[in-house]
């Protein structure tokens, strides 16, 4: 079942298209990544999907509900954590969670149970009595995400949820989200940390200049756009001839990172590497180490965005 279904969704500001006729389908229980450079249209899309703004054109259904006809019904069933900080400065961490539960009419006993569980799940127990204004940026972010789980929801929008988190806390949050998705929660996830998206997302859409330019699983995106391989060669001793010897090699890009390291990027890596080894052997240049660098989602993202047409 589709949790989000958008057809030809569009939104303009002052005659400039922020979102230009996008189609999106998100299945129930998916963690759906939404990636794009700054100004690509991500924020406007999220505002439409969360019914904060209405689309100028197109059709949008959230949880089977027409967004144009029943936005309030949709808001009762979703959670939203935007990139902007949102916290009550003088409230303690525990009180913030309690207040959020009260706002959503969570029964008192269930509210207290959820507070205890979320304090533990988000590693907030030791700071539960500290005021939000005394917390670090990362701690505030954890509270902001944790409190959304005080109420029942079918769909959660997370916009850069790991900003300010150290690697260990980030990993714990990502695993928590994966567990919740496994239990049936649908998550619409934006981030600039591409390794994060690769780890957590079932499917990813890349948007640029208001248009969706690629949609697929991380593995399929790498298969489709990751033909280029990266190989690093370390030379045993610095040799000033390297640059001249390799500069005319075709079907590849050769980068000289230092006097002893050469990086080769090519879609014909096997043939190119064979030619380079031949040149090095002919000139008695000893190779000390060879390593292949797997294609990352970040490599794919940069390639897809840079190759996208201007209009």
DSSP letters, 231-254, are EEEEESS--TTHHHHHTT--SSEE
Choose the weakest-confidence range: 8-17, 32-41, 216-225.
Answer: 216-225
Query: CA neighbours within 13 Å on the CB side: how many for 300?
Result: 27
Look up tokens 């505002």; give the residue.
47
pLDDT at 67 (0 to 100): 97
Instruction: List pLDDT tens digits, range 255-296.
Output: 877 668 888 877 777 788 888 888 888 888 888 887 777 677
User: What region does 164 belong to: left with phi over 0, alpha with psi -120 to 50, or beta?
Assistant: left
Residues 72, 78: Cα–Cα separation, whole Å: 10
Q: Which long-range contacts (CB under 8 A, 24 or more apart) does 72-77 make?
A: 75/50, 75/51, 77/153, 77/154, 77/155
Q: Domain ranges in the chain?
A: 2-217, 227-294
What does the DSSP 8-state code read for residue 92? B
Total length of the chain: 311
| Predicted confidence (pLDDT) per residue in 54-105, tens digit | 999 999 999 999 999 999 999 999 999 998 888 889 999 999 999 999 999 9
CATH class of 2-217: alpha beta
Under a CB-based contact definition with an 8 Å cutoff, are residues 18 and 284 in contact?
Answer: no
What pLDDT was estimated at residue 273?
81
Q: Give the H or E element holding residue 35.
A: strand 31-35
Beta bridge partners of 232: 263, 291
State whether CATH 3.30.70.1150 applies to domain 227-294.
yes
CA 275, CA 158: separation in Å to the nearest integer?
48
CA dihedral 133, 138, 140, 145 (to 10 degrees): 180
Instruction: Tell me how far apart the alpha carbons of residues 24 and 77 are, in angstroms, rounded to a whole number.
Output: 19
Rounded Cα–Cα distance for residues 261 and 236 (Å):
9
Beta bridge partners of 266: 229
- Res 1: pLDDT: 72
Supply the pTM of this predicted model. 0.81
pLDDT-derived band at 311 (thresholds 50, 70, 90) equals low
* Complete edge-to-edge strand list for the sheet that includes strand 261-266: 253-256, 261-266, 229-235, 287-293
Tokens 């279904």, located at residue: 5
């Amino acid at each position: 079942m589709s949790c989000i279904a958008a057809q030809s969704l569009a939104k303009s500001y002052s005659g400039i298209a922020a979102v230009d006729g996008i189609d999106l389908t998100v299945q129930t229980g998916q963690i759906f990544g939404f990636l794009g450079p700054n100004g690509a249209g991500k924020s406007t899309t999220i505002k439409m999907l969360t019914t904060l703004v209405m689309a100028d054109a197109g059709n949008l259904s959230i949880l089977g509900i027409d967004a144009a006809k029943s936005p309030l019904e949709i808001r009762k069933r979703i959670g939203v954590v935007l990139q902007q900080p949102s916290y009550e400065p003088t409230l303690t961490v525990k009180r913030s969670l309690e207040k959020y539960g009260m706002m959503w009419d969570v029964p008192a006993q269930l509210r207290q149970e959820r507070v205890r569980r979320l304090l533990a799940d988000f590693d907030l127990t030791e700071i539960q009595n500290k005021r939000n204004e005394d917390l670090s940026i990362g701690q505030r972010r954890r509270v902001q995400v944790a409190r959304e789980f005080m109420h029942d929801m079918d769909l959660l929008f997370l916009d850069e949820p790991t900003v300010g988190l150290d690697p260990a806390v980030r990993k714990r949050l990502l695993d928590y989200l994966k567990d919740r998705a496994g239990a049936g929660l649908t998550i619409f996830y934006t981030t600039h940390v591409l390794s994060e998206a690769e780890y957590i997302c079932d499917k990813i859409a890349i948007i640029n200049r208001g248009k969706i330019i690629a949609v697929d699983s991380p593995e399929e995106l790498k298969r489709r756009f990751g033909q280029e391989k990266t190989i690093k060669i370390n030379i045993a001793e610095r040799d000033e001839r390297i640059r001249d010897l390799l500069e005319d090699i075709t079907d590849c890009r050769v980068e000289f990172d230092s006097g002893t390291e050469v990086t080769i990027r090519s879609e014909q890596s096997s043939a190119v590497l064979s030619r380079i080894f031949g040149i090095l052997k002919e000139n008695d240049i000893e190779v000390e180490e060879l390593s292949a660098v797997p294609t990352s989602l970040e490599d794919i993202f940069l390639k897809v965005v840079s190759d996208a047409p201007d209009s």
